[in-house]
Amino acid sequence: MSRVGKYPVEILDGVEVNLQGQLLKTKGPKGELSYNVPKKVKITHDNDNKQLSFEPADESKEARSLWGTCRSIASNMVVGVKDGFKIELQLQGVGYRAQAQGKLLTLFLGYSHDIKMAMPETITVETPTPTEIIV
């Protein structure tokens, strides 16, 4: 059984964390996020050590399941507002290629037509090579 919830979440420099009851808010250079922590999980904010700690509110299976999930979500929130997230995709297939033009991603995937995807304002897409996509 995983014990992800046992480890505290380190609050990075440049990230501001605000805890109001069960509402967790993070703010950083890349934006701000909020998460309503379920009542089955207790959350504590240690300002001195710059940490968030989680523990199940009771011994129910649901509380123990949510414990690690809430910790992971909070950790991802802290990283997301500080550094953001990036994924590199590789297209594999004969004739498969991609092309980014501003906020429009065009995929050529062997269909009779091109697939055009409009990206939201908060997401940037690059295609350094025709078979590589960086989101």
Q: Over the stretch 83-92, which tens digit does the pLDDT of each residue have?
A: 888 899 999 9
User: pLDDT tens-digit profile of 36-59?
Assistant: 999 999 999 988 889 999 999 998
Tokens linked to 121: 């304002």
**Average per-residue pLDDT in the chain?**
91
CATH code for 4-82?
3.90.930.12
CATH 3.90.930.12 domain position(s) in the chain:
4-82, 88-134
Instruction: Render the burial of 12-25: b for 16+ CB within 10 Å, e for the rest.
Output: eeebebeeeeeebe
* pLDDT band at 17; cut points 50, 70, 90: very high
Report the Cα 89 to chain-centroid distance in Å.
17
Q: Tell me: pLDDT of 1 over 60.
A: no
Q: pLDDT tens digits, residue range 107-125?
A: 999 899 999 999 998 888 9
**CATH entry, 88-134, from 1.20.58.220, 3.90.930.12, 3.40.50.970, 1.10.150.170:** 3.90.930.12
